[in-house]
Amino acid sequence: MRLRIRGLTAGWSRLPAVEGVDADVPEGSFTALVGPNGSGKSTLLKTVYRALRPRAGRLLLGEEDLLGLDPREAARRVGVLGQDQDGGFDFTAREAVALGRVPHTGPFGGLGAADRAAVAEALELTGCAVLADRPLSRLSGGERQRVLLARALAQRPRLLVLDEPTNHLDPHHQFAVLELVAGLGTTVLAALHTLDLAAGYADRVVAMRAGRVAAAGPPEEVFAPEPLRAVFGLEGTLLPDPVTGRLRLLTRPVGAPAGRGGSGTPRCGERGPRRCTGRTGRGGPGRTWRG
């Protein structure tokens, strides 16, 4: 379900970390939130999943005012894969995923048939079914991230919010998480550190700098040379992956000297963005998870 962010100002200290942000997450899109450290990505996401109350602005999920909703109601609509939220106690994977049903269950928190089905489906989708009875402490980083994603899916959200979902993961698992998320068909808003991954998986990119939106649009536009230099202080080359057709972004420091073979590569951004749209689309062939 689409999310519209309007005039959002939020932060922990007197100086707001996010100021006057307008942004759109279109229905069914994978929207990546990118920006340097401290640019306000996490703060923005926290207001969306209600961990932080904004000082001003509106969040519209569909036609509903997200900030006016009861917290439980909001949590039924927005599922979250946050940072460092696996708890100090050693839940099994199934228990951890079942927590995603908290906003759906009554005061005694008993799981009904629908709840158990949602948990089982989330475990299945993320390839975690075989891990279900293992304690989180015995899982690898990649496995744990999948379990936490399964929890967010068990919420049966209309909007999936991911805060750095590829953090601490090796390249294989970075791709695996994003392939999975992109294949879900749910509306996704994800903060991503790795611009290359944002270029490859997002339909839409919102680039933030110093608490404001610096650029927004399809990856071909946001990762064009001009915005790339202005927002990130980087030079870059966009080109389609020769095998998958997904966009790739090669970045380098501004003014890096051209070395061997440096000048022969076609610079996608310089020839105009439309040359780089040969992607296979979302989902792609890699939907199954090989852990």
Residues within the interface to other proteins (CB under 8 A) = 12, 46, 49-51, 70-76, 78-80, 82, 84-92, 95, 98-100, 102-103, 105, 107-109, 133-138, 152, 155
How far apart are the C-alpha atoms of 193 and 171, rounded to whole Å? Answer: 13
Minimum CB distance to other proteins smaller for 158 or for 209: 158
User: Which residue, 189, 95, 76, 87, is CA-closest to 150?
Assistant: 95
CB of 141 to other proteins, least distance (A): 11
CB of 90 to other proteins, least distance (A): 5
Q: Smallest distance, Å, CB 119 to other proteins?
A: 13
The nearer residue to other proteins, 158 or 282, going by C-beta atoms, is 158
Longest dimension (CA), the chain: 67
Please say which residue, 191 or 231, places its beta carbon nearer to other proteins.
191
For other proteins, the closer of residues 12 and 117 by Cβ is: 12
Q: Which is nearer to other proteins, 140 or 265 (CB)?
A: 140
**Contact in structure between 2 and 27 (CB atoms under 8 Å):** yes
* Cα separation, 280 vs 31, whole angstroms: 17
Residue among 76, 101, 287, 115 at smallest CA distance from 184: 287
Cα–Cα distance for residue pair 93/283, rounded to 1 Å: 25
The DSSP code sequence of 244-278 is: T--EEEEEEETTPPP-TTTTTS--TGGG-GGGG--
Considering the complex, state which of residue 168 and residue 229 has its C-beta at the smaller distance from other proteins: 168
Can you tell me the distance from the alpha carbon of 52 to that of 67, in angstroms, rounded to the nearest whole number?
10
Residue (32 or 80) nearer to other proteins, CB: 80
- Smallest gap from Cβ 215 to other proteins, in A, equals 28
**The two three-digit tokens of residue 254, written as one number:** 């501004």
Tokens linked to 91: 């839940």
* Minimum distance of other proteins from residue 101's CB (angstroms): 8
Asked if 236 and 251 touch (Cβ cutoff 8 Å), the reply is yes
C-alpha to C-alpha distance for 19 and 23, rounded to whole angstroms: 12
User: How many CA within 13 A on the CB side of residue 87?
Assistant: 15
- Comparison of 153 and 249: residue with beta carbon closer to other proteins: 153
Nearest approach in angstroms of CB 185 to other proteins is 21
Q: How far is the CB of 203 from other proteins (least distance, A)?
A: 24
In angstroms, what is the minimal distance from the CB of 92 to other proteins? 6
